[in-house]
Chain A
Amino acid sequence: MSATSLLSGAQRIVAGLETAGVTLAASVPDTWIGKLMATVRASQTIRAVDAAREEEAVAIACGAALAGGRGAVLIQNAGLFNCGGVLAGLVELYRIPCFFIVSYRGDRRDPVYYHEPKGRVTEPTLDAWRLPYAIADRTGDLAAQVGRGVHAAQTSRGPFVLLISGEDLE
């Protein structure tokens, strides 16, 4: 058993953020993102910022990027739906790298019934908004998947979304 396999999924995701040079993570939590942010808060290199609403988190992460750091946004898919305006009018318009980790509520792995409508429209919304994305694969190297997402945001100078499920954090 490798040392890496002893880490929880949340720890591997945060290790990926750290390795990718993320300096600030702005978040509005749900149950899953809250667990992930608890791990972020233990990081020595990532500043955790609690935002009241998701659009703010996007702008905060963009500010960190414009000031020489690397910002990430950790929110639920419902929160991502709030972000159409700031994605178009800030991230896309000014070409700012912005990496998202988004909890994929309502997909087939989510046990909570009332999230189902959000799950149904998540990938169609990402496609319609032309947001590049990947779905995390917990059987693979989660840290590397995070790293590839951060790199994609950096090289495109735009958004990249990594969708996660609660089981990815275990």
Chain B
Amino acid sequence: MTPRRPLLEALVAMLRRDDVLVSCLGANSRYLPHLDVRAPTFALCDSMGAAIPLALGMALQRPDRHLVALEGDGSLLMCPNVLATVAAARPSNLTALLWVNGHYESSGGQDLPSAPVDWPSLARGFGIAHVERVGDVAALSAAFPRARAAKAPALLIVDVAFDPNEPIPPYSERPAEIRARFKIT
């Protein structure tokens, strides 16, 4: 299983300046300030499950920009219903990436409820038109452009390694800083 950082670096390298990135709380938000992210980035440090609907609101407000939302499996397990909301709204400019590691990584690495959630079937069942599952950098690098080109709500399910000893950096930006800097021109 591939660690998070190379997957995140590969994704960030594919982002364009006119994309917009919304990150869920936890490891992704904590890594992003240490990467060279060209796109405007709104990083959450709380509010599990908010990344995808937040990106949906942005996508509907700004159909000229492509929104990329990062969400964790623990967060989406709390509110998978958001997939139905996205499918109903049918934005052609929203790609969500679901990072699946089976753990609540940011709260101490506890296990998710041990149910064998079939994320691709769940997403398709909710009506998400474009769904792919990837597990390494090469697959992600191939799948992301397809998702962007889908012109329909897209979900990439990213299987990522869980390492309880991974040296994830702490949050380095306060919400007021993130809010003040975030601007979609």
Residues on A facing B (Cβ under 8 Å): 23-24, 26, 47, 49-53, 55-69, 71, 85-86, 88-90, 93-96
CB distance from A129 to the nearest CB of B (A): 15
CB distance from B3 to the nearest CB of A (A): 27
CB distance from A93 to the nearest CB of B (A): 5
Chain A residue with the shortest CB-CB distance to B178: A94
**Given A50-B88, A56-B82, A68-B62, also A26-B57 (CB < 8 A):** yes
A24 in contact with B85 (CB, 8 Å): no
11 contacts between A and B (CB under 8 A): A24-B60, A24-B61, A56-B79, A64-B57, A64-B61, A66-B54, A88-B46, A89-B46, A93-B45, A95-B175, A96-B179
**Size band of the B side of the interface?**
20 to 34
CB distance from A157 to the nearest CB of B (A): 9
Q: Which B residues are CB-close (under 8 A) to A52? A: 81-82, 84-85
* B97 on the A face (CB < 8 A): no
B57 in contact with A94 (CB, 8 Å): no
**Given A86-B47, A90-B44, A93-B47, also A61-B57 (CB < 8 A):** yes
Residues on B facing A (Cβ under 8 Å): 20, 22, 42, 44-50, 53-62, 65, 79, 81-82, 84-85, 88-89, 175-176, 178-179, 182, 184
Main secondary structure of the interface of A (DSSP, over half): helix
A90 in contact with B85 (CB, 8 Å): no
A90 in contact with B61 (CB, 8 Å): no
Q: In the assembly, what is the distance between CA of A56 and CA of B75, in Å?
A: 12
CB distance from B126 to the nearest CB of A (A): 9
Q: In the assembly, what is the distance between CA of A61 and CA of B42, in Å?
A: 15
Q: Which A residues are CB-close (under 8 A) to B89? A: 49-50
A60 in contact with B42 (CB, 8 Å): no
Q: In the assembly, what is the distance between CA of A67 and CA of B179, in Å?
A: 11
**B49, B60, B184: most-surrounded residue (chain A CB, <10 A):** B60
A66 in contact with B60 (CB, 8 Å): no
Chain A residue with the shortest CB-CB distance to B126: A52
Q: In the assembly, what is the distance between CA of A47 and CA of B57, in Å?
A: 10
CB distance from B24 to the nearest CB of A (A): 11
